[in-house]
Amino acid sequence: MKKSKLIAGVAVIAAAVAAGMLWMNGDTSADNVASNDVLTSQPPTAADAAAVARGHYVAIASDCTACHTMPESKLPLAGGYSISTPFGGIYASNITPDSETGIGSWTERDFFRAVRHGKGKEGEHLYPAMPYNAYVKLTDQDMHDLWMYMRSVRPISNKVPETQLGFPYNIRLAMMGWNLLFFKNSGFQADANKSAEWNRGAYLVEGPEHCAACHTAKNIIGGDSSDYLQGSNLGEWHAPDITPNPHTGIGSWSEQQVVDYLKLGSNHVAVASGPMAEAVTNSTQHLTDSDLKAIAVYLKQVPPSKNTKPQPIAADTAPMKMGENVYSANCSACHNSDGKGIPNLAASLAGNPGLMADDTSSIITTVLQGGRGAVTAGNPTSGAMPSFAWKLSDEQVAAVATYLRNSWGNAAGAVSADEVAKARAQLKLPAQMATH
């Protein structure tokens, strides 16, 4: 065979494979189980009460509220909240059954396609800020129940502004390429070698709860890296490693301690704050004890990250000495001189794996801006931490962060004043107040 012919042949095959992949990737036939007749605007009947109740649980486990309800608004699921992404703000839609401004005119099948395959009503590609790459794992039953619940919520008229991203992200068709690279078009695959409990945990974490959306690092165009649940930067926050790594992950936590964190918002060391406080308050605290246990069983068995514990920075170095002074004057009243804090109120800084990550954004944000632990039915008071932006210089914040990362058995890299200065600017916090 002539070389040119061979090359042409290879090109034809490559094109056919690419077309096949595109087709499979965009294949929504799994959604054809859903009816294409009844509209979301049609309220469910009394006979549907059990399905609506199950669907409510699916909606909570999937935390649809997190993005589709504007914070502080009294308009549940009516959208309008702009999700910030590195490419610009993306408005979450009104998903109440209002026919004009919500999804009232959608059929069940339209709904399945949007949630599991990221396709809008007219077939347009949704942005992956809507976590369909996780929801594709939702079972037909959970999807049906969820839709029944959506039909039961109050229709709210609220026109959401159109998302305007810069080129090329404004081209929705470009999501086809994104999907080809990062969207795995397949439902949840149970592992027959694992227990039913493990499989339930895997389903919840990978599917409805979409934990990887925050805890798995992203590449430059927002796709998941292969470092599953090994920690990710969210701007002002760091979502820590939640693999069973003993140093930076949950390896030293018992299953019950993982459950406590997700149910109460705090455990023997850590207190959930920032985006995790919202996830706990809106979603995980409402899960049944057996579902929380299943999540813990699964997390304890995912492949651990490879992070290792370094040598701690010596206590007699200049930043550590400065850090110790700052700590005893400002922090020890709540966190104690032994770093152990006050159980379920002020986090323990000793042996707290989330504080050992290379990424120190959560520590810096918490010290500069202060914070508040998750409020839950099991721990309704929670604790608050004051802001120190006005009181401490960048150098002092860096020193105290370095100190808490290298005391009481902790060991992690030093924090620089530059990192603190950047965070202070990003958080729009004022400089330290003049001391004279």
Q: Which of residues 345-404 bind ligand HEC (CB under 6 A)?
A: 345-347, 349, 352-355, 362-363, 366-367, 371-373, 383-386, 388, 400, 404
- Output 202 or 211, the one with its CB closest to ligand HEC: 211
What is the C-alpha separation between 278 and 275, in angstroms, rounded? 5
129 near ligand HEC, rule: CB under 6 A: yes
144 near ligand HEC, rule: CB under 6 A: no
- Output 155 or 383, the one with its CB closest to ligand HEC: 383
Smallest distance from the beta carbon of 76 to ligand HEC, in angstroms?
Answer: 12
Check if the beta carbon of residue 348 is closer than 8 Å to that of residue 425.
no
Check if the beta carbon of residue 71 is closer than 8 Å to that of residue 77.
no
Give the nearest residue (CB) to ligand HEC: 371
- Output 62 or 185, the one with its CB closest to ligand HEC: 62
Q: Residue 69 is inside which H or E element, if any?
A: none
Q: What is the dihedral of CA 227, 229, 230, 232, to 10 degrees?
A: 100
* Sequence-ordered list of residues with C-beta below 8 angstroms from that of 294, at least 6 positions apart, any chain: 197, 198, 200, 201, 204
- Output 19 or 332, the one with its CB closest to ligand HEC: 332
Residue count of the chain, please give it.
436
420 near ligand HEC, rule: CB under 6 A: no
Check if the beta carbon of residue 372 is closer than 8 Å to that of residue 384.
yes
What is the C-alpha separation between 198 and 219, in angstroms, rounded? 29
Smallest distance from the beta carbon of 301 to ligand HEC, in angstroms?
Answer: 13
Per-residue x/- marks for ligand HEC, 245-284, CB under 6 A? Answer: -----x-------x--x--------xxxxxxx--x----x
- Output 185 or 242, the one with its CB closest to ligand HEC: 242
DSSP string computed for 151-171: HHSPP---PPPPP-PPTTTT-
Per-residue x/- marks for ligand HEC, 287-326, CB under 6 A? Answer: --------x-------------------------------
Choose which of 34, 60, 90, 420 interacts with ligand HEC (CB under 6 A). Answer: 90
Q: Which of residues 104-123 bind ligand HEC (CB under 6 A)?
A: 111, 114-115, 120
What is the C-alpha separation between 152 and 388, in angstroms, rounded? 46
Residues that contact ligand HEC, how many (by CB under 6 A): 76
Choose which of 34, 52, 130, 389 interacts with ligand HEC (CB under 6 A). Answer: 130
What is the C-alpha separation between 63 and 150, in angstroms, rounded? 13
Q: Which phi and psi angles does 69 have, rounded to 5°?
A: -110, 125
Per-residue x/- marks for ligand HEC, 212-251, CB under 6 A? Answer: -xxx------------------x--x-xx-x-------x-
Give the number of other CB atoms < 10 A from CB of residue 252: 14
What is the C-alpha separation between 60 and 209, in angstroms, rounded? 9
126 near ligand HEC, rule: CB under 6 A: yes
Check if the beta carbon of residue 231 is closer than 8 Å to that of residue 239.
yes
Check if the beta carbon of residue 211 is closer than 8 Å to that of residue 205.
yes
333 near ligand HEC, rule: CB under 6 A: yes
Q: Which of residues 190-209 bind ligand HEC (CB under 6 A)?
A: 205, 209
- Output 192 or 279, the one with its CB closest to ligand HEC: 279
Q: Which phi and psi angles does 139 have, rounded to 5°?
A: -70, 160
Per-residue x/- marks for ligand HEC, 9-48, CB under 6 A? Answer: ----------------------------------------
DSSP string computed for 232-297: EE-SS-EE---SS-TTTSSTTS-HHHHHHHHHHSB-SS-B--HHHHHHHHHTGGGS-HHHHHHHHH
- Output 59 or 420, the one with its CB closest to ligand HEC: 59
Smallest distance from the beta carbon of 186 to ligand HEC, in angstroms?
Answer: 18
Smallest distance from the beta carbon of 24 to ligand HEC, in angstroms?
Answer: 22
